Structure 1
Amino acid sequence: MDYYLDQQAEPDSAVLLEGPWGSGKSYFIANYFKERLAKARKADALAVDPLIHVTLFGVKDLAEITTQMFEKAHPILGGKAVKVVNTVLSRAVGALGVTADAKENATLLQDLTLKLDGRVLVFDDLERSHLPLVEVMGYINRYVEHNKLKVIVVASEADIASHERQDYSRRKEKLVGKTIRVGSDPQDVLDNLVQNLDSKEVVTAVQTARDDLLLTFKASKKQNFRSLRSILFDFERLVTATDPRLRSNPQALRALLLYMVAVGMEFRSGTLDDSSLRSLRTDIRSIPGRQPDSDEMSGQNIGQRYELVAWNDPIIPPAHLADLFSSGAVDVPAVNAFLSEHPAVVGHRVAPPWRRLWSWYELTATDYKTARDELARQLSEREIVHPGQILHAAGTIIRLRGYGDDLLNGVPTEDYFQKYLEDVDAQGKLIPAHELFGMMAGSYGSLVYNEVENPEFLPIHALVEKVSQKALDRKMALEAGELLSSLRTSTDHSSKLIETGLDKRNYGGVAVLHHLGVETFAALLIDDGSPNDKLFASLHARYRGGYDDELAPEFPWLARLRTELERRAAAALPPHKALCEMRIEYWFQEVAGKIAAFSKPRQQAKPSLATPRKPAARKRVRKDAK
């Protein structure tokens, strides 16, 4: 670079500074010219900074590039001068209202060229322009060939669109004389990044896991130091904001750090999007690829590439990391609730027995017996009342029986848990958890159930789902009155019928309206002959959200509601009578078929865990079998 810039002869080509995104190209340019300027001003205090650095990122018109150059070359000038240059190149003088004849424009352009003598043009982010590359490169080439200026082009060739690579290669031969590849030493970069971290525990964690972190970063095949920097700062913010027991546990910190580097690099490069990251399962290594762009295929590739990452047992669920990476938000109470049960964070003696036994192979014989006996006691006393925890207990019992330890003393697993569920249901103790039985039906607490594909486990899952639904229905019967009062208070609350999140008193995808009287609800929809369009719209949207099975109890209720609404419309006086009839017909036309279908006796039970409501059966690779 020094040789190119210091030579007295007129240049006949440009220099290409090439490297992947985040590799430090722009940082190198800024610091390189800063050092050159400092050196020049030691010899001449009035030395002019030769750098004119423009970005091609998002550029849609060549005039935008010229405008940037003009503003950098003439920082004091502005307004009319910049607009004229832009206008000349875009040939739209009249449209912009600029008053300048061709001679004046030519003078300004010539002045611009003269002002560039002795300057160095840097065109950054070549591959991120919205213009065809050959057009941009032809534009750049005129400054080399015609104006004899020294030009540096900054690009990431790996990110050039495939359909432009052939044209790019041909044009590159004419434009570029030398290529300098930027490749910072990851070890040096990491050491510099660590100096910007504030938490002593985080610094120690990064330094202790330094070699494994670098191997994990390298496994991404994306040498993007900008992404690594963001991930490390996210790691620090997450660790310092959550349970202090996490940052005081080096092993847990190491596991979380490597996990975040792996998924963070994939997320920031676009390999994993938000939904894909949220759906990562703990049995990621055994997920077979289907379509190349499917979540399953992404999961398989990630599991194979990052050998040092403990995919089977994340310290923090990927859904929370998706929130952090996407929006910077951290649900601290939810994260802390998860950490409070994680053996790696709170210790094996503090974590609940179902959680300890999920990875029983990590326990000593003494700790195993303690956890085993405690789980047996909790089951005997019907203390486990969360559906996800019950399913984890069932899957682990089936798993352990395969290793010769029968916690149920010969009682068939299905029979045992059927009686267990009858008891906790009769006591009204079961906690409703309808979210466990959707598309992610095979896991709870970010952990896939042991023996989730075992035929012995599937009927237990169906039993738990059935009893959980009963518990949810009882809960909804109690909350229906509160929902009705809320809808009466304000039409804005009609969004509660669409939005999800029972903890926020939202009822999207949860059957609750059938607990309300049809006459009472009809009075909200048609009041004194006037339709409540906002509530009608929310009711319509409620049944378009893909929750038909979940909302099945409401469809017979909807049939009765429509009858009551039609009765009210018939009793209304013109013109409100016709208005109400039109609204009823419009809002119910799409849902009419569902009402008819779900009002008939169902021939089949709801799909079990083995149906497409969950991922298809997979061959499992068990860590405890190693």
Structure 2
Amino acid sequence: MGIDRAEVKKFLRNWANTESKPHFAVLVEGRWGCGKTHFVLQLLEDESFTDRKPIYLSVFGIPDVQSLETNLFYASAGSLTKTLHKGAGLAGSIFSGALTLGSGGIFGGTANLNKIVDAVTSQLEQSSTNMDGALLVLDDLERCQIPMSELLGVVNRFVEHGDTRVILLANTDGLKDNHFIAFREKIVGHSFFLESDPDSALASFVGEIGQTDVRGLLEYYEQDIRELYNKSGFHNLRALRQFVWQLATVLERMNEDYRENDELVRNLIVQFFIFFIEFKLDLAEESASLTPLDLLGQYDEGKDEVRHVYEFSFDKDKEPTPKKRIFNKYEQHNGIRTVITVQQWIAILTSGVVDAARLNAELAQADEVAGVGSWPSWKRLWHFYEWDFSDGSEPGFWSDVEDMQSNLGCGSYVEVGEFLHVVGVSLMLAEHQLVDQTVPKTVKTMKSYIDGQFIPALTYERCRGVVERFGYQLESYDGLGFIGREGAEFKEVLNYLVEKVEEWHQAWLRDDAGKELLGLLTDDWIQFIGNLKVTNHPSEQRYLDIPILATIDAGAFVDAWFKLSRREERLVVGSLKDRYEHHPALLDKEGLWWRSVQEELMRRVANTRSKPRNVQIKNLVKHINSSIIEKWELRQFQEFSKGGLADVGWMTRTRIGD
């Protein structure tokens, strides 16, 4: 159980200032980030707390007793009343000789603990003068590399044989072994477990902000930040402090009129807290590692104006993804509509730099600033049940209906999610007889739009993943759920859309995809390979299980292949070898294509006068044989053995290159 920090402070004040020597150290323990260090440093900075010279030292990274001695000497040798030293050990030791404890000791299980303590104690007589009368704080005990038996000797010297008061700070969750238990029983006379105290800590963190108006703004929104902190469940005050400092930088860069926009500032704080704590720091132990780049949706790469962080849920019974769990935790169930672009949030999180001009330009376009007037007409109509028609807004309603229908006529809705919102809104209006069309007529109109305008304007980037995103359990787009998404009419339009998009996709794969892929062979052959197999390099991996190579003209492939350097040229076949190990069925269509590539290579040999170059080309032919053709022939033979092969003429052919 935790204890009131005021009581801890009272005890430490009496203990530090009593004239009688306590002859024991005090342990302040708590989980990482609970504010132990902040609490104790506040005491050290309080001039009224004690007349003793405060000395702070983190033992994190100090490798041995000699380095610890050096740090303690430098920390205690100053004449200033306050010497706060942090950091790893300084090189060398100011004391002559080294401790010779051998390889046994408490860790070897052969030596008596008291003997080790006495041995270490005798080595530290020289340091007692500087430390006498001091208040020594040793932090990060759980991350100390010095064996506990040796550290025990150091601390014991000060509390038993001198007049030094020692406070130890540790996350004892990381100190469960017998060595620490022995250390604790020998040295520690009193211990306190500190729970996280976000209220006082947050007030303190905000009070450290130098700019007056920003500090005042943070004070105003302290309750909002506390609520977010409690929802996070991490109880990590170090992370909270980092967030406050970074948030202050963002607020300082904002135009003054934007700082006065309450809704804008509240939403900015919510977004930045979630993005900073969950995606930048990624404190959740049970989640997959998240980074700022994960703020972008799977199909948002390359888009500059994305303002929505979302995660589609395909199956309600499926365990939510780490990203979805975060949205649920902060009650952002439909995702987050961002006040600035997701790309700018990523830039701020990764670099820590806030471009004031870019920030304010994007804030000007936020819904909280531009208002509903900046929304597309379908979005205002989506909020139909929130309209207050007593304020004279009915003409605006009819204007939005007309605008949405006009945009449909012009083919303006090309994004899948936006179009589905238009479908849902249109069906809702038809159902309530707010438009001339009936519901069946609206369904027919939407199908005609798909055939005549949506599909002709489709690109691969917009097509990609439509079936995966919308073919199963769909929920929302742009933070809004689709109206009537469970209704038969909506599903009819959706299924028709998915069917037509898939038809377009298959035609694209057959006619254009191979040509586009071939362009990568000369422009970026690593990306070419990465579209065909799993690699360690960033790539789209579009065709892991699609026989796309069979759609490429063999001559055009060889032309592009020969434009590579000779080294890269040789690596292509080997790089594609395991494509067929993971998806052997691809050989059924691509094996014959590789045979045609071999034939094309042999034609190049016949037409090439350079004998050295012909040797290189023939080597490529053999490489294709050993890496791909042999596997293809084996697969064909296995199918023939099962009686499933109609044409066995391949068995009598001469292997190319032999």
Superposition TM-score tier, normalisation by shorter sequence: 0.5 to 0.7
1:384 counterpart = 2:413: yes
What is residue 295 of structure 1 aligned with on the other side?
A: 321
Query: CA 1:464 to 1:51, structure 2 compared with 1: closer, same or farther past 3 Å?
Result: same
What is residue 521 of structure 1 aligned with on the other side?
A: 557
What is residue 164 of structure 1 aligned with on the other side?
A: 176
Which deviates the most, 281-290 or 318-327?
A: 281-290
What letter is aligned with 2:444?
Answer: D
Instruction: Provide, for residues 303-359 of structure 1, a one-character-per-residue CA deviation record: whole Å limited to 9, x for no partner.
Output: 35x46x686553357787566445547899999999787643422122112333444
Query: CA 1:352 to 1:301, structure 2 compared with 1: closer, same or farther past 3 Å?
Result: closer
What letter is aligned with 2:422?
Answer: A
Matches within 5 A, 1:566-577: 566-567=598-599, 576=616
For the 8 Å contact 1:19–1:25, the answer to whether it is kept is: yes
Deviation for aligned residue 1:177: 1.0
1:580 counterpart = 2:596: no
For the 8 Å contact 1:239–1:247, the answer to whether it is kept is: yes
Matches within 5 A, 1:299-314: 299=324, 303=328, 306=330, 313-314=336-337
| Match for residue 218 of structure 1 among 208, 227, 230 | 230
Which deviates the most, 456-465 or 10-19?
A: 456-465
Instruction: Provide, for residues 419-478 of structure 1, a one-character-per-residue CA deviation record: whole Å limited to 9, x for no partner.
Output: 111111575476841455376554544555445565654554454455556389769978
What letter is aligned with 1:525?
Answer: W
Which deviates the most, 189-198 or 253-262?
A: 189-198
| Match for residue 532 of structure 1 among 565, 569, 577 | 569
What is residue 596 of structure 2 aligned with on the other side?
A: 564
What letter is aligned with 1:274?
Answer: L
Mapped partners of 1:541, 1:333: distance in 2: 49
Q: Secondary structure at the match of 2:374?
A: coil
Mapped partners of 2:590, 2:96: distance in 1: 66
What is residue 251 of structure 1 aligned with on the other side?
A: 263
Query: CA 1:197 to 1:236, structure 2 compared with 1: closer, same or farther past 3 Å?
Result: same
For the 8 Å contact 1:341–1:355, the answer to whether it is kept is: no
| Match for residue 378 of structure 2 among 354, 366, 381 | 354
What is residue 121 of structure 1 aligned with on the other side?
A: 136
Deviation for aligned residue 1:269: 6.0
| Match for residue 155 of structure 1 among 161, 170, 187 | 170
Deviation for aligned residue 1:391: 2.2
Instruction: Provide, for residues 580-623 of structure 1, a one-character-per-residue CA deviation record: whole Å limited to 9, x for no partner.
Output: 24532566489969x99xxxxxxxxxxxxxxxxxxxxxxxxxxx
Mapped partners of 1:519, 1:106: distance in 2: 83
1:270 counterpart = 2:270: no
Mapped partners of 2:64, 2:626: distance in 1: 48
Mapped partners of 1:51, 1:83: distance in 2: 20
- Aligned-pair RMSD on alpha carbons? 5.6
What is residue 45 of structure 1 aligned with on the other side?
A: none
Query: CA 1:244 to 1:193, structure 2 compared with 1: closer, same or farther past 3 Å?
Result: closer
Query: CA 1:463 to 1:509, structure 2 compared with 1: closer, same or farther past 3 Å?
Result: farther
Q: Secondary structure at the match of 1:196?
A: coil
Aligned-residue identity in percent: 17
Query: CA 1:154 to 1:398, structure 2 compared with 1: closer, same or farther past 3 Å?
Result: farther
Instruction: Provide, for residues 184-225 of structure 1, a one-character-per-residue CA deviation record: whole Å limited to 9, x for no partner.
Output: 56267347527737596x667645544333333333344444
For the 8 Å contact 2:70–2:90, the answer to whether it is kept is: no
Q: TM-score, normalised by structure 2?
A: 0.63
1:177 counterpart = 2:190: yes
Deviation for aligned residue 1:418: 2.1
Deviation for aligned residue 1:15: 1.6
Query: CA 1:411 to 1:311, structure 2 compared with 1: closer, same or farther past 3 Å?
Result: closer
Instruction: Provide, for residues 229-254 of structure 1, a one-character-per-residue CA deviation record: whole Å limited to 9, x for no partner.
Output: 43344445556779999667431321
Mapped partners of 2:272, 2:631: distance in 1: 44
Query: Aligned residues, how many?
Result: 553
Matches within 5 A, 1:436-447: 437=466, 441=470, 442=474, 443-445=476-478, 447=480
What is residue 57 of structure 2 aligned with on the other side?
A: 53
| Match for residue 260 of structure 1 among 272, 275, 278 | 272
Instruction: Provide, for residues 546-599 of structure 1, a one-character-per-residue CA deviation record: whole Å limited to 9, x for no partner.
Output: 9x9xxx9x9888445412333256576786467424532566489969x99xxx
For the 8 Å contact 2:29–2:191, the answer to whether it is kept is: no
What is residue 86 of structure 2 aligned with on the other side?
A: none
Mapped partners of 1:389, 1:465: distance in 2: 15
For the 8 Å contact 1:124–1:153, the answer to whether it is kept is: yes
Mapped partners of 1:186, 1:7: distance in 2: 31
Matches within 5 A, 1:395-544: 395-398=424-427, 408-411=437-440, 414-425=443-454, 428=457, 432-435=461-464, 437=466, 441=470, 442=474, 443-445=476-478, 447=480, 449-451=482-484, 456-458=489-491, 460-465=493-498, 467=500, 470=504, 487-488=521-522, 494-495=526-527, 498=530, 508-510=540-542, 516-525=552-561, 532-536=569-573
Query: CA 1:325 to 1:570, structure 2 compared with 1: closer, same or farther past 3 Å?
Result: same
Which deviates the most, 243-252 or 339-348?
A: 243-252
Mapped partners of 1:407, 1:360: distance in 2: 18
Deviation for aligned residue 1:261: 2.8
For the 8 Å contact 1:514–1:557, the answer to whether it is kept is: yes
What letter is aligned with 1:356?
Answer: R
Deviation for aligned residue 1:390: 1.0
Structure 2: unaligned runs, 5 residues or longer: 1-11, 80-88, 105-118, 298-307, 533-537, 606-610, 637-658
For the 8 Å contact 2:198–2:237, the answer to whether it is kept is: no
Mapped partners of 1:483, 1:245: distance in 2: 50
Mapped partners of 1:85, 1:455: distance in 2: 86
Q: Secondary structure at the match of 1:152?
A: strand
What letter is aligned with 1:564?
Answer: S
Structure 1: unaligned runs, 5 residues or longer: 41-47, 93-103, 501-505, 597-626
Q: TM-score, normalised by structure 1?
A: 0.66
Mapped partners of 2:249, 2:212: distance in 1: 9
For the 8 Å contact 2:591–2:628, the answer to whether it is kept is: no
Query: CA 1:535 to 1:318, structure 2 compared with 1: closer, same or farther past 3 Å?
Result: same
For the 8 Å contact 1:518–1:561, the answer to whether it is kept is: yes
Deviation for aligned residue 1:379: 1.7
For the 8 Å contact 1:356–1:371, the answer to whether it is kept is: yes
What is residue 230 of structure 1 aligned with on the other side?
A: 242
Instruction: Provide, for residues 62-100 of structure 1, a one-character-per-residue CA deviation record: whole Å limited to 9, x for no partner.
Output: 7765564455457999654269777746869xxxxxxxx
What is residue 315 of structure 1 aligned with on the other side?
A: 338
Mapped partners of 2:367, 2:312: distance in 1: 21
Mapped partners of 1:86, 1:590: distance in 2: 68
If you compute each CA radius of gyration, which structure gives the higher value, 1 or 2? Answer: 2
Mapped partners of 1:334, 1:459: distance in 2: 43
Deviation for aligned residue 1:378: 1.6
Query: CA 1:318 to 1:556, structure 2 compared with 1: closer, same or farther past 3 Å?
Result: farther
